[in-house]
Each structure stands twice: as structure tokens, then as C-alpha cells.
Structure 1
Amino acid sequence: MLHKKITFIGAGNMAASIISGLVKSGYPADFICASEPNKANTQKLVEQFAITGNQDNRASADWAEVVVLAVKPQIMADVCQTLIEQGVDFSNKLVISIAAGVSVQRLQSLLGENTAVIRTMPNTPSLLQKGMTGLFASTQVSQENKTFAGDLMAAVGETLWIQEESMINAVTAASGSSPAYFFLFMEAMQNKAIEMGFAPEQARLLVMQSALGSIEMVKQNPDLEISTLRENVTSKGGTTAQALTTFNELQLSEIVAKAMQAASDRGAEMEKLF
């Protein structure tokens, strides 16, 4: 991986997870800066990873070759406008955004229409370097910078490049929001197991280990369809078949499809807000 000077504008959980992945993979800490007004947040990262911390976003952005915008979408415009007003020149920098609902066009309207922008959508398992990130690059991004951004996000998990920006909302539906879907399903299973007589910690163990094992089976059998793995567990007339029949009668697949579409639609709506 190339070593470029990176500034993270914003020092929250996602910035911390990416920094952690970079440092663990051998990226030089003195090439990384975390910047935001809250000194406590940056100082925590300085102490943990031996990177540079700063409260001056302008100076931090000036120093960097790559600026990662790791702020909430609600404040993205204010942060970008302030940097421009302070004289930061983005013409020779790569900008990577990890904010949901802020389009490339919007970022370029704030930072300069020819700014090289890569929009990403990571998910929360990135905190454990088990994330999934979708990426989309503007036409101004060089192949070198695309490779760099891909390597950057690979430090926290798997990556997938998309060719149409509109697909970023589908990425949100399929991976960005989906950890919550799995948590909801696991929560429902845990609650029922408790109702059946297990202690909470026992119920959690039963559900957690079953989920872990199921995911590992998917991972270790890349040539098998997920539907085949499901069928392999299901004996005709057995307990699993009865459970799946109930799911089908209650239209689980349709519920999931509607939920994912709702997430994607909300992503598109957010692009009009920010």
C-alpha cells in the first residue's frame, strides 16, 4: 500500500476503526492525523495509536494528501464550507467521504467541482476489522488513488467497488444497515429462548454461537448457494422444516425485501437533505 499523508476530519468511532486497521496493518502512524475541535476525542486516538491529533481542521487538511471526511452528514456542509473559507485547496487532494446521504455532486459543489472524491459506505463491524464497504469514485479520481482508497478501506474488512453512485443506497440496504437486521433477528431468538426457560446468558450463547457457525459455513463454502446450505439443514417433516414453514407463511422474505427497499429509499431521500 502506498503511504500518503492522511487527515481524518472527525475522530469518532468509524475514524478510529479505520485508523486502528491502518496501524495494525503497518501503516506509519506519523502519516496519520485526526482533527476535530474536541481535543478529548483526538487525544484518545493519539494515546492509542501514536498518531497526530489536532484541533485545527484547516492546518490538518493543508498538511494532508488525503482528507477523510468522517463527520455526520448533518454538519458536512458547514465543515466543508469552513475549510474552503479558510483557504484550503482541494485541487490536488483525494477526498474520501464516509458520510451517508451526501452525494459526490454535493461534495464537489462544496469543495470545488473538479475535486477528486470517493464516496464510501462502511458498516459498524469495521470497528472489529470485519466490515463491508462499498466505494464509488468520481471521474476525477486517478487509478492510483482508487487503489489507495481500496487498500485503505480493506484495512477494516472487505470492499466492493460500484460503477453507479445510485447503487450506494443499495449498498446501504445490503450491508451498511444490515448489522441491525441481524441483531434484531438474534434479539428475537434470544428473547424466545429465555421464554422457553434458558437464562439470558445461556440464550445469548445459543444464538451467538449458532450465528457465528452459520456465517463460517457460508464463508468456507463459496461455491455453495446460501439456499443450498439452508436446504442441507432442513430435513423433510422435521423441526427445521416446521420453523421455515412458519417463516414462509408469515412472508419473511417479503418483509426483508420491503425493509431493504425502505433503507435504500431513505438513503436517496437523505441525498436531497444534505
Structure 2
Amino acid sequence: MTQSAAKPIQIGFLGSGQMATALASAWKRAGLMHESSLASDPIAVARERFTQTTGLQAVASNLEVAQRAELIILAVKPQMLPALLNEIRPALTPAQVIVSIAAGITLRQLSEQLGTTTRLIRVMPNTPCLVNASATGIAASPSATADDLAMVSTLFNAVGRAFVLAEPLLDAVTGLSGSGPAFVYLMIEAMSDGGVRMGLPRDVATALAAQTVLGAARMVLETGSHPGVLKDQVTSPGGTTIAGIHELERGGMRAAFMNAVEAASKRATELGRG
């Protein structure tokens, strides 16, 4: 695509669910997306919700979106993708860039249906893009240009942080940051339960736990310090924190989180092969 990533892009969303709606809203606010961008969805309620939230048009026709967009976001469930690609393929042109956010669907699988010259980019965002705090992995096909990759990186950095990686690493991204929010929610819930056990009201305990996770994450990202260094700064000899850490280590907390990321990554690979 010859158009600069800094200029508004005509984007078409095939699928208008939560992720598409969140991305469209953020990109519109950032001035990265043209006002005439649009989405398609077979479900009327989903189209209405997309339009009400983003102020953009939503239509029932996938072909209409494919014909009008410079950049197409494949935002449907993986099992729906083969039929969708067969439908839109006749409408695609060499000038368009196709971005897939369908989990587990490889660039090879996409190129087999759309052709090896199609400019394909695979993206693995996560649900915190709903609050502009996504962690995203990006991989490009050989047919995508450096400008295509820069444009997509700009778009996804606008809703969080994006990292360009070799495609085989996207399954690890799926296991870490794709599934990771659920692991963190579980941790927040458990910390809140601990606060309630010690007498705190539930709403206060949950807010304290969530704010603690948010603050700790910002410390890692903004200081650039290793998490172990930051942990040691909080851990006084013979103090409260080391007592708590000892219990976490006795419970196998590190191994449990590592195993969870590994299991989720392997499952992503299995889904792609399936």
C-alpha cells in the first residue's frame, strides 16, 4: 500500500464483534481511519451496536466491504473464515492488504485460499484492546511490503503495544498475551478472596487487587527494570512480603503460570493444524 500509515486509511471489517468495534473506535479517535470505513456482519444487532459505538456504517454484505476497503480486517471466528475467504476472493485487488486476527489460522492457510501474491498480515491482539491496552504480535507474509507492515504496526500500537515477530512465535503470543488476561483475572480474583478472608469488603478488595496489578505492570513497563529486581525492592528481610512469596513458592505459583502459557501455546498450535 502506497498510502502512509499516518494518513487516514479506508478500513473494512469483516465481522463487527467486540474486537472489531474496539479497534474501529480507537483508530477513529486516533485519526488513523477514514470516516467512510465500514464493517459487515450477518447479524443485525451486531451491525447496530457497531454503528452506535463507532459512528461508522455497518452492512450485511461482505462483498461490499471487500470492494470498498484499502485494508481489510478479518475479524470472524476461525471456523467461519474458509467460507468468508471464498466469498470475498473475487472482489480483492493487488492493492489491498488483508489483516487476519483469527486465532490459529496461519499465513500459509490464508494464502492457499487467497493466493500467494495477496498481501497478508497475521495479527494476534488480546481483549485489553477494548481499553487501549492490548499486547499484540504481528507477522507478515513474504508478499506484504515493509510499508504494509509499518502501517499495521502503527494501527496496533495505537491500541496498546505491538511487536513484529516471526510467524511461528505467534502461537507463543497466543499462549502468553492472548490467553494471559484470563490468568491475570484469576490472580486478581484470588487476591481479592485473600483480602476478603482478612476482613476487607469485597468491592474494596477487588479494587485494591486490580490496582495493585495495574501499578506493578506499569512499574515493569515504565522503569524497564527486571521484574525480579522490582520484586526484591519490595521484599524486606524477615518482612511481610517474603512471607507471602514463600507461600506462593510452596504452592508452585511460578511453575503453574509457566505451565499455563505452555499449555495455551500448544493448544493454539493444535487449533491451527486442525
TM-score by length of 1: 0.93
Give the match's secondary structure for 1:30.
Answer: coil
Task: Map 1:112-151 onto structure 2 (within 5 A).
Answer: 112-151=115-154
**2:69: which partner in 1?**
64
Residue number in structure 2 paired with 1:102: 105
Aligned residues: CA RMSD: 1.4
State how many pairs are aligned.
269
User: Matched residues in 2 for 1:264 and 1:216: separation?
Assistant: 25
Distance 1:133 1:96 in 2: 13
* Greater shift in the superposed pair: 95-104 or 252-261: 252-261
The 1:28/1:68 distance shift into structure 2, 3 A limit, reads closer
Which residue of 2 is the match for residue 89 of structure 1?
Answer: 92
> 1:230 maps to which residue?
231
For residue 240 of structure 1, report the CA deviation from its aligned partner. 0.9
Map 1:40-79 → 2, pairs under 5 A: 40-79=45-84
The corresponding residue for 1:203 is 205
Equivalent residues in 2 for 1:179-258, closer than 5 Å: 179-222=181-224, 224-258=225-259
Q: 1:169 corresponds to which residue?
A: 171
The sequence identity of aligned pairs, in percent, is: 30
Residue 153 (structure 1) aligns with = 156
8 Å Cα contact 1:2/1:148 also seen in 2:
no
* CA-CA distance at 1:29 after TM superposition: 4.3
Counterpart amino acid of residue 110 in structure 2: L
The alpha-carbon deviation at position 28 of structure 1 amounts to 4.7
Tell me the CA shift for residue 53 of structure 1.
Answer: 1.6
**Among 27, 39, 59, the residue aligned to 1:34:** 39
Q: Is the 8 A contact 1:30 1:52 kept in 2?
A: no
Higher mean alpha-carbon deviation, 24-33 vs 167-176, is at 24-33
Stretches of structure 1 lacking an aligned partner (at least 5 in a row): none
AA in 1 matched with 2:12: T
SS in 2 for 1:158: strand
- 1:121 & 1:194 partners in 2: Cα distance? 36
Separation (CA, whole Å) in 1 of partners of 2:33 and 2:95: 22
TM-score between both structures, scaled by the size of structure 2: 0.93
Q: Distance in 1 between matches of 2:143 and 2:157?
A: 22
8 Å CA contact 2:40, 2:58 repeated in 1: yes
In structure 2, the gaps of 5 or more residues are: 1-5
CA drift of 1:235 comes to 0.9
Deviations 1:2-28 (A, max 9, x none): 333210000001101110111111235
SS at match of 2:35: helix
| Consecutive aligned runs of 4 or more in structure 1 exceeding 6 Å deviation | none
Q: Report if aligned partners of 1:90, 1:111 keep a CA contact under 8 Å in 2.
A: no
- Pairwise CA distance, 1:142: 0.9
**Distance in 2 (alpha carbons) for counterparts of 1:2 and 1:141:** 19
